[in-house]
C-alpha cells in the first residue's frame, strides 16, 4: 500500500464510530429542522424555483449591445433570486425567466434597467408553466425507490456467501440515505443564507449523488469479504478496520480526482452553474465520508449488536501496512 496507508496503519476507524455518528447528526439535523420549520409555517419544505412553480418569460431588445449578466444583476437586487438571463438572436436581445411579478414591480424594473443599461423595446412578457411538474417529480421519486431496492437486492446477492448478507445491502442503503439527507440539509441552509432555491439541476445533483454514493461502499465491503477469508482468526471489527485502511487511499484518490474537476467548474463556471456544482461537491464528499465512516461502522455495530462504543473499550489492533 502507499504512504497514506502506512500512516493510517494504527487508525481505529470503526471503534470511533461514536464520533462519526455524531458528526453526521451535526451535518444533517440543522437543515432538516429548518425544513420542518418551513413545513409547519405553511411553506414548502424547500424553496422552489420557477422550474417547479412556473413564472414569466420576458424578452427585451436594447438599442445597443447589452450583457445578460447586467440585466440579471438588477433583478437580483430587486429580490428576484431565481432569475435566468441569456442572449437570443443577437447581442442586443435578452430573454429573462423569473417568478411572477405584478405590473408595479415590472414598471419599477423597467425604469431601473433603462437607467442603468439603456433604452429597450419589450418583445413579449408572458406566463410560463413549471418545467418540472408533479408527474416528473413522482417519476424521480419512483426512480430513487427502484434504485434503492435494486442496490439492496444486488449487494445481498453479491455477498450471499457471507453471514447476514442482507446487512451489507441495508448498510449501503443507509449510507445512500445519509448522503441525500446531507444534500437536502445543505440546500436548506443555503436557502436561508444565500436565498438558494430548488431547481431542475438540484434534482439532477441528487440523482448523481445517489449514483456515486454506493460505489466506495461496495469497494470496502468487497475488501471485507476478501479479508474474512484471509484472516479467519480475527474479529469482525478488526477485519473491517483493516479493510477500511487498505481501501482508503483508493477511495480518496478517486474522489479527489473528481472533486478537482468540479471545483474548477465551480470557480470558473458561470453563476448559473455554481449552485449545482456546490450541491454536487457536498454530495460527493458526503458519499466518500459515509462509505468510510458510516456504512462499515454500522455494519460492525450490527454484527456486534452494539451500536455505540463504550468508554474504555479497546480499539482494534494496529493494521500492518502491506
Share of the chain above pLDDT 90, in %: 57
Q: Span 220-228, mean pLDDT?
A: 94
pLDDT band of 194, cuts 50, 70, 90 = confident
- Check pLDDT > 90 for residue 216: no
Sign of CA dihedral 125, 131, 133, 135: positive
In the chain the domains, ranked by start, together with CATH numbers, are 3-42+133-304 (1.20.1640.10), 55-128 (3.30.70.3400)
**Radius of gyration from C-alpha coordinates of the chain:** 25
Q: Span 84-109, mean pLDDT?
A: 90
- Check pLDDT > 60 for residue 134: yes
Evaluate whether 167 touches 104 at the Cβ level (below 8 Å): no
- Check pLDDT > 80 for residue 80: yes
Show the cell assigned to 251.
477511495
pLDDT band of 259, cuts 50, 70, 90 = very high
Alpha-carbon gap, residue 27 to 21, rounded angstroms: 10
- Check pLDDT > 70 for residue 147: yes
Give the contacts of 272 (CB within 8 A, at least 6 positions apart).
84
Residue 1's pLDDT is 44
Q: Span 53-67, mean pLDDT?
A: 92
Residue 49's pLDDT is 84
Which residue(s) pair with 85 in the sheet?
A: 96
Which residue(s) pair with 86 in the sheet?
A: 95
Residue 322's pLDDT is 46
Q: Is 111 exposed, middle or buried (0-12, 13-18, 19+ CB in 10 A)?
A: exposed
Q: Which is higher by pLDDT, 286 or 233?
A: 286
Which residue(s) pair with 87 in the sheet?
A: 94
Of 47-51, 61-65, 254-258, 268-272, the poorest mean pLDDT is in 268-272
- Check pLDDT > 50 for residue 39: yes
pLDDT band of 11, cuts 50, 70, 90 = low
Give the contacts of 65 (CB within 8 A, at least 6 positions apart).
91, 92
Whole-number mean pLDDT of the chain?
87
Amino acid at each position: 500500500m502507499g504512504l497514506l496507508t502506512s500512516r493510517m496503519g494504527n487508525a481505529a476507524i470503526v471503534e470511533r464510530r461514536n464520533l462519526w455518528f455524531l458528526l453526521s447528526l451535526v451535518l444533517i439535523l440543522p437543515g432538516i429542522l429548518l425544513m420542518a420549520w418551513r413545513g409547519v409555517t405553511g411553506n414548502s419544505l424547500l424553496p422552489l424555483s420557477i422550474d417547479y412553480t412556473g413564472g414569466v418569460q420576458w424578452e427585451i431588445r436594447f438599442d445597443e449591445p447589452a450583457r445578460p449578466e447586467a440585466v440579471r444583476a438588477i433583478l437580483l437586487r430587486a429580490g428576484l433570486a431565481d432569475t435566468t438571463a441569456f442572449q437570443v438572436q443577437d447581442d442586443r436581445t435578452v430573454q429573462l425567466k423569473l417568478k411572477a411579478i405584478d405590473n408595479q414591480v415590472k414598471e419599477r424594473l423597467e425604469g431601473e434597467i433603462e437607467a442603468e443599461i439603456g433604452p429597450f423595446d419589450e418583445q413579449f412578457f408572458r406566463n410560463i408553466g413549471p418545467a418540472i411538474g408533479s408527474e416528473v417529480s413522482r417519476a424521480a421519486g419512483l426512480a430513487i425507490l427502484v434504485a434503492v431496492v435494486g442496490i439492496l437486492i444486488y449487494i445481498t446477492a453479491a455477498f450471499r456467501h457471507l453471514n447476514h448478507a442482507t446487512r451489507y445491502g441495508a448498510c449501503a442503503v443507509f449510507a445512500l440515505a445519509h448522503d441525500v439527507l446531507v444534500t437536502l440539509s445543505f440546500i436548506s441552509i443555503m436557502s436561508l443564507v444565500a436565498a438558494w432555491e430548488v431547481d431542475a439541476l438540484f434534482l439532477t445533483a441528487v440523482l448523481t449523488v445517489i449514483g456515486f454514493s454506493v460505489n466506495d461502499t461496495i469497494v470496502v465491503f468487497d475488501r471485507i469479504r476478501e479479508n474474512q477469508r484471509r484472516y479467519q482468526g480475527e474479529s469482525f471489527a478488526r477485519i473491517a478496520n483493516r479493510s477500511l485502511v487498505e481501501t482508503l487511499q483508493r477511495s480518496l484518490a478517486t474522489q479527489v480526482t473528481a472533486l478537482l474537476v468540479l471545483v474548477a467548474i465551480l470557480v470558473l463556471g458561470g453563476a448559473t452553474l455554481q449552485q449545482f456544482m456546490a450541491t454536487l461537491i457536498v454530495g460527493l464528499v458526503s458519499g466518500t465520508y459515509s462509505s468510510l465512516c458510516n456504512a462499515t461502522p454500522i455494519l460492525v455495530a450490527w454484527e456486534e449488536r452494539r451500536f455505540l462504543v463504550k468508554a474504555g473499550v479497546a480499539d482494534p489492533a494496529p493494521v500492518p501496512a502491506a
